[in-house]
C-alpha cells in the first residue's frame, strides 16, 4: 500500500472525536492513521480530547518499534519498511465502501498477530480493501503497543497488559465514532489471527469490554499456552527494568530480547513468552475467567489451520539439520508438526468453543485446510491472511502460498471473505457447512465447563 495525500474532494466525517478528512481509493474510502489514545512509555493509554482542528487521516498508522525475524518478509511477502516505527503507534485506520448504504453497515475490527512482538495494523498484508469493497462492511485496522512497550510489567510503576489496554481504548473510540462513517455501533465484530486472536479471547472477559463488541472471530490463536505464568512474567519484568523513560528505543529493544530469552526458559520450545497477565487490569484472576464468560453473550467463530506448526518447523537450526536426515527426518518433522498443531491450536480451540457454548453463547468451530498437502508448508500458520486481505499483487511474493495461482487465490479468498462478513452481519451460520477446497465448520454444543484454571 502506497501512502497518499488528501484530494480536493476528500470525504469529511464529523465525529465526536472531531472532523476527520479521509481519502478515496478506487471503490473504497479510507481514513488512516487516526490517533485513538495518547500514550507515555510504560503507562496506560489516556483518552484524547476532541480535536480542535480537522484530523488529516491520510497517512498509515506507524508500527510499534520492533525487530522482526529475517523470515518475516520472505514468508508473508510484506515488510515493516512500508511503515514508520514509533512508540506513538496507538492509531487506527478505517476502510469503507465508497457506495452509500441504505442502513448502517456491520463493522469488523482487525487485531493483528505477531506473537505480541511484531506486526502492525496497516501492513500491506492486512489491507482490508477487498473485504470492505466486496462485502459491504466497514473494516477498522487497529495498531497497539507490542513487546517490552506493551506486554512486560506487573508493578504499580510499570503496569502489565498495556497493549491490551490500548486495544480497549481503540474499541472505545470505534464504539463512539463509527456511526459517523456509516457503521453500526451495535454490530461490531472483532477478528484477529495468532496473537490477535489470542487477545480477542482475553478481551471477551476483560473489564469494561461488555458493550464494545458483539461477535468474535478467533483465528489460529495459540490457546494451548496457559496464560497463568507468574514466575515467567516476573523474570521478564526484571529484564525490563534495565530501561526507563529516558532509554533509547534501541536500548528498549535490546532489553526486550533479554526479556524474551528469560521467558523462553519457562516454555516448551520457547514459544511466545510475551502475552497477557491475568489478575492484573483489565483481566480478572484466571480462576474467575470462565464464570465471567458465562455472564456475557457473544457470537463466536473460532478455528485453526490444519498444518499450523509447519510454519515454525525450520525455525531452529538444530531441528532443521535433524529434519534433513534421510529416512527419519521427514516423518519426525511431520509427526512433530501434527503434535504441536493439535496441542497448541486444535484441541485448545475446540475446548474454548465448547466452554463458550456451555456458557450459553453461540459457538462455531472451523478447520481450514486450504493448501494442505499441495504446497511446501501446507495449511500453515498465517495461511488464512491471503484469503482475507489485499490480493494477488500483495501475496504473489509470499512463500507461504508458493505454487498457488492468482485465479485460485481470488476465488477462495472471495468465498472466505463472504463467509466472514456474513458471520459479522448475522452472527449465525448453518449448523454444518463448508467452503469447498478451503474449510469446513460446525456449530458446537455445550458441555459442562472444565475445572477452572488456578493462578
What's the rounded mean pLDDT across residues 36-64?
Answer: 97
* Residue 416 located in a structural domain: yes
Task: Assess if residue 368 is contained within a domain.
Answer: yes
Is 222:198 a contact under the CB 8 Å cutoff? yes
Please tell me the number of Cα atoms within 13 Å of 189 on its side-chain side: 26
User: 409-422 pLDDT, tens per residue?
Assistant: 999 999 999 999 99
What's the CA gap between 86 and 255, in Å, rounded? 17
Is 83:117 a contact under the CB 8 Å cutoff? no
Q: Residue 278 half-sphere exposure, CB side, CA atoms within 13 Å?
A: 19
199 is in which domain, residue-wise? Answer: 12-443
- Candidates 60, 86, 282; CA nearest to 169 is 282
Let me know if residue 448 belongs to a domain.
no
C-alpha to C-alpha distance for 386 and 406, rounded to whole angstroms: 11
- Is pLDDT at 454 greater than 70 in this prediction? no
Higher local confidence (pLDDT), 7 or 383: 383
Greater confidence (324 vs 378) lies with: 378
pLDDT band for position 455 (cuts 50, 70, 90): very low
> Can you tell me the distance from the alpha carbon of 365 to that of 347, in angstroms, rounded to the nearest whole number?
11
Residue 451: the pLDDT is 41
Report the first-to-last Cα separation within the chain, whole angstroms. Answer: 44
Helix residue ranges per DSSP H, 227-302? 230-240, 249-264, 289-293
In a domain, 88, yes or no: yes
CB 243 within 8 A of CB 252: yes
SS3 category, 186: strand
Classify residue 269: in a domain, yes or no: yes
Assess if residue 4 is contained within a domain: no
Mean pLDDT, residues 200-220 taken together: 97
Closest CA to 120 of 152, 81, 153: 81
306 DSSP 8-state letter = T
Looking at the predicted structure, is the pLDDT value of residue 44 above 50? yes
Tally of CB atoms within 10 A around 373: 9
Kindly give, in sequence order, each residue whose CB lies less than 8 Å from that of residue 407, ignoring residues fewer than 6 positions away.
none
Rounded Cα gap, residues 15 and 20, in angstroms: 7
CA–CA dist 374, 450 (Å, integer): 37
Mean pLDDT of the chain: 92
> Taking a C-beta distance cutoff of 8 angstroms, is the pair 27, 98 a contact?
yes
Instruction: Supply the CATH number for residue 360's domain.
Output: 3.40.50.1820
* Residue written as grid cell 487516526: 34
| Cα 202 to Cα 196: distance, rounded to the nearest angstrom | 10
How far apart are the C-alpha atoms of 380 and 368, rounded to whole Å? 9
Band (pLDDT 50/70/90 cuts) for residue 325 is low
Percent of the chain with pLDDT over 70: 92
pLDDT value at position 347? 96
291-322 pLDDT per residue, tens: 998 889 899 999 999 999 999 876 656 666 65
Residue 455 domain-assigned (yes or no):
no
Q: Is residue 452 part of a domain?
A: no
Least confident of 26-30, 198-202, 253-257, 318-322: 318-322
Alpha carbons within 13 A on the beta-carbon side of 136: 10
CA distance 300 to 353: 8
Residue-wise DSSP of 407-436:
HHHHHHHHHHHHHHHHHHHHS---SEEEET
Q: How many structural domains are present in the chain?
A: 1
pLDDT class for 367, splitting at 50, 70, 90? Answer: very high
Amino acid at each position: 500500500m502506497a501512502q497518499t495525500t488528501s484530494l480536493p474532494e476528500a470525504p469529511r466525517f464529523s465525529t465526536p472525536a472531531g472532523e476527520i478528512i479521509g481519502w478515496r481509493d478506487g471503490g473504497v474510502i479510507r481514513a488512516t492513521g487516526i490517533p485513538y489514545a495518547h500514550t507515555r512509555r510504560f503507562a496506560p493509554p489516556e483518552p484524547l480530547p476532541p480535536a480542535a482542528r480537522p484530523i488529516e487521516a491520510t497517512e498509515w498508522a506507524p508500527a510499534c518499534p520492533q525487530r522482526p525475524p529475517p523470515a518475516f518478509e520472505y514468508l508473508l511477502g510484506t515488510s515493516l519498511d512500508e511503515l514508520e516505527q514509533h512508540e506513538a503507534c496507538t492509531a487506527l485506520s478505517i476502510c469503507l465502501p465508497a457506495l452509500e448504504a441504505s442502513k448502517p453497515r456491520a463493522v469488523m475490527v482487525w487485531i493483528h498477530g505477531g506473537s505480541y512482538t511484531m506486526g502492525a495494523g496497516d501492513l500491506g498484508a492486512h489491507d482490508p480493501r477487498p473485504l470492505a469493497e466486496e462485502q459491504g462492511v466497514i473494516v477498522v485496522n487497529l495498531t497497539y503497543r507490542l513487546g517490552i512497550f506493551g506486554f512486560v510489567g506487573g508493578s504499580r510503576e510499570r503496569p502489565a497488559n498495556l497493549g491490551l489496554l490500548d486495544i480497549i481504548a481503540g474499541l472505545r473510540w470505534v464504539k463512539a465514532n463509527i456511526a459517523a462513517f456509516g457503521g453500526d455501533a451495535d454490530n461490531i465484530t472483532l477478528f484477529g489471527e495468532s496473537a490477535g486472536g489470542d487477545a480477542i479471547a482475553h478481551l471477551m472477559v476483560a473489564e469494561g469490554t461488555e458493550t464494545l463488541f458483539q461477535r468474535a472471530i478467533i483465528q489460529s490463536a495459540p490457546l494451548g499456552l496457559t496464560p497463568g505464568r507468574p514466575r515467567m512474567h516476573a523474570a521478564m519484568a526484571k529484564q525490563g527494568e534495565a530501561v526507563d523513560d529516558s532509554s533509547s528505543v534501541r536500548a528498549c529493544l535490546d532489553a526486550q530480547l533479554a526479556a524474551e530469552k528469560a521467558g523462553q526458559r519457562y516454555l516448551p520450545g520457547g514459544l511466545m513468552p510475551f502475552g497477557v497477565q491475568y489478575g492484573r487490569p483489565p483481566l480478572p484472576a484466571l480462576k474467575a475467567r470462565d464464570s465471567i464468560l458465562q455472564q456475557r453473550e457473544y457470537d463466536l467463530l473460532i478455528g485453526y489451520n490444519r498444518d499450523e506448526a509447519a510454519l515454525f518447523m525450520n525455525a531452529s537450526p538444530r531441528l532443521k539439520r535433524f529434519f534433513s536426515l534421510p529416512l527419519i527426518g521427514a516423518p519426525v518433522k511431520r509427526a512433530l508438526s501434527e503434535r504441536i498443531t493439535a496441542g497448541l491450536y486444535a484441541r485448545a480451540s475446540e475446548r474454548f468453543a465448547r466452554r463458550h457454548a456451555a456458557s450459553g453463547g453461540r459457538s462455531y468451530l472451523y478447520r481450514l485446510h486450504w493448501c494442505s498437502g499441495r504446497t511446501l508448508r501446507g495449511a500453515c500458520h498465517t495461511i488464512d491472511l491471503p484469503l482475507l486481505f489485499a490480493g494477488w499483487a500483495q501475496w504473489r511474493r509470499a512463500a507461504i502460498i508458493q505454487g498457488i495461482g492468482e485465479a485460485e487465490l481470488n476465488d477462495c479468498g472471495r468465498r472466505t471473505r463472504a463467509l466472514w462478513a456474513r458471520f459479522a452481519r448475522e452472527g449465525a451460520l448453518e449448523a454444518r457447512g463448508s467452503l469447498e477446497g478451503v474449510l469446513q465448520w460446525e456449530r458446537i454444543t455445550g458441555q459442562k465447563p472444565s475445572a477452572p484454571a488456578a493462578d
